[in-house]
Amino acid sequence: AAGRTVHPDDTIIKVGDVNIGSGTFTVIAGPCSVETREQITMVADSVKKSGAVILRGGAFKPRTSPYAFQGLGKEGLDYLESAKEAVNIPIISEVMNQTQIPLFENVDIIQIGARNMQNFDLLKEVGKLKKPILLKRGLCNTIEEFLMSAEYIMASGNENVILCERGIRTFETATRNTLDLGAVALLKEKTHLPILVDPSHALGIRSLVPPLAKAALAVGADGIMVEVHNNPAKALCDGAQSLDLDQFDHLMQDIKKRVVLE
Ligand code: PEP
Ligand code: MN
């Protein structure tokens, strides 16, 4: 179970050499979407040199508009896997439904997106796997509902759940969402599961990503997941919130002054 009362010690999730939740600060970085083999490999190489330990890249994208870029699908996963091999870095990508699960065999962490946080059938299916699941908080879901969704995965047999606060919808529209840092602090009390923060989707504005990434560190998050693109102005998805390679490197230098990275 997810609660601290039954399991007081922090859960550490192993992904290759990375120990998420072990008191270190795990940085996941990469583009919103995999676009080409060259793009994902170049971003992988660069973010790894800057200190990221896991590469993100969406292949199946939950877009608000059906006319927006939907991701490269299986081809995107192939490119992401080739970047994993070329650069030697674990990868994370989002699964949108049960039928896609077999395609994720070589993906190290499966992401359940905010829009699927209460897709209980999908939660039960990833609960049958052994690999780590990164569960993002739903746009309008309470902390209790968030934990219950983690519970669904764990009750099906997979205890390797990483939580991710990615901003919730409030009356405020100046930022894409409202980053609920209070939830991170509360979750650290309530659960032994590791908690990451995604400042990119929370803010939606590139310049606000570094300050909130550091706020996540200060509040006790176990790490961050940040969108980084080689050319944000040309990104097929979420360019406005993506850091370029130099901006990410700068953020990482700033974070390294404050913590031991893993
Ligand atoms: C993502 O991380 O690629 C994503 C779509 O985020 P969210 O599910 O939090 O909107
Ligand atoms: Mn995105």
Separation of 97 CA from ligand 1 center, angstroms? 14
Q: What are φ and ψ of residue 246, in 5° steps?
A: -70, -40
Ligand 1 atom index nearest CA of 58: 3
From 91, 94, 168, mutation site for ligand 1 pocket: most ligand atoms within 8 A of C-beta? 94
Residues 6+ apart with CB under 8 A from 1: 7, 151, 154
The domains located in the chain, with CATH, are 13-61+69-256 (3.20.20.70)
List pocket residues of ligand 1, CB cut-off 6 Å: 32, 58, 62, 94, 113-115, 136, 166, 198, 201
* pLDDT by position in tens, the chain (length 262): 999 998 999 999 999 999 999 999 999 999 999 999 999 999 999 999 999 999 999 999 999 999 999 999 999 999 999 999 999 999 999 999 999 999 999 999 999 999 999 999 999 999 999 999 999 999 999 999 999 999 999 999 999 999 999 999 999 999 999 999 999 999 999 999 999 999 999 999 999 999 999 999 999 999 999 999 999 999 999 999 999 999 999 999 999 998 877 7
Write the DSSP symbol of residue 33. Answer: B
From 32, 107, 134, 136, mutation site for ligand 1 pocket: most ligand atoms within 8 A of C-beta? 136
